[in-house]
């Protein structure tokens, strides 16, 4: 079983490597045995280091200065859940969407399951896809307006 302190260290390194757009450092935090990144809102599931890094590449291309700030931690026996905020400007191509110049601020919940070696076996991300697309100008606000 991995300690709370060890999970904390790995996640801090993982998030800092993401913030630094550091491919090799991000990969080093994942398991060497078929790691998985599950993007629940998009329905995409990436298996293995190459697929996971390719997913990050799209994000890094579109938001090269994207920052992640962890705001809450919850620990289990071999897992951790973090709440974080992603913030940055959409200045490059992201999955076929040209740069909008718009600011993104997106709250995310990420669940990390660890392997026996203390590395991330699976990361599962949850966020509001409508908020993401609306902030980039891809989707319009569909919330009902109040009537007086």
- In this prediction, residue 70 carries a pLDDT of 99
Residue 145, pLDDT > 70, answer no
Across the beta sheet with 44-47, what order do the strands follow?
Answer: 44-47, 36-39, 120-127, 103-114, 79-89, 67-75
Give the SS3 label for residue 138: coil
Region 12-28: mean pLDDT is 97
Fold type of domain 4-135: Nuclear Transport Factor 2; Chain: A, (3.10.450)
Query: Quick check: 89 and 71 in contact, CB under 8 A?
Result: no
pLDDT digits (tens, 9 = 90+) for 101-132: 999 999 999 999 999 999 999 999 999 999 99
CA separation for the pair 101, 121 (Å, rounded): 35
pLDDT, position 36: 98
Distance CA 121, CA 21 (A): 20
What is residue 54's predicted lDDT score, i.e. its pLDDT?
92
The mean pLDDT of 23-49, rounded to a whole number, is 97
Confidence (pTM): 0.91
The two structure tokens encoding residue 69: 């700030």
């Amino acid at each position: 079983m991995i300690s709370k302190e060890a999970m904390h260290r790995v996640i801090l390194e993982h998030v800092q490597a993401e913030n630094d757009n550091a491919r090799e450092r991000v990969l080093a935090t994942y398991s060497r045995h078929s790691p998985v990144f599950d993007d629940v809102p998009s329905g995409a599931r990436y298996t293995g280091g190459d697929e996971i890094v390719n997913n990050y590449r799209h994000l890094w291309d579109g938001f090269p200065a994207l920052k992640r700030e962890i705001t809450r931690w919850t620990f289990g026996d071999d897992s951790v859940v973090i709440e974080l905020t992603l913030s940055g400007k959409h200045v490059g191509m992201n999955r076929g969407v040209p740069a909008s110049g718009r600011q993104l601020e997106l709250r995310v919940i990420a669940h990390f399951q660890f392997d026996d070696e203390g590395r991330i076996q699976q990361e599962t991300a949850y966020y509001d896809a409508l908020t993401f697309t609306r902030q980039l100008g891809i989707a319009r606000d569909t919330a009902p307006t109040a009537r007086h």
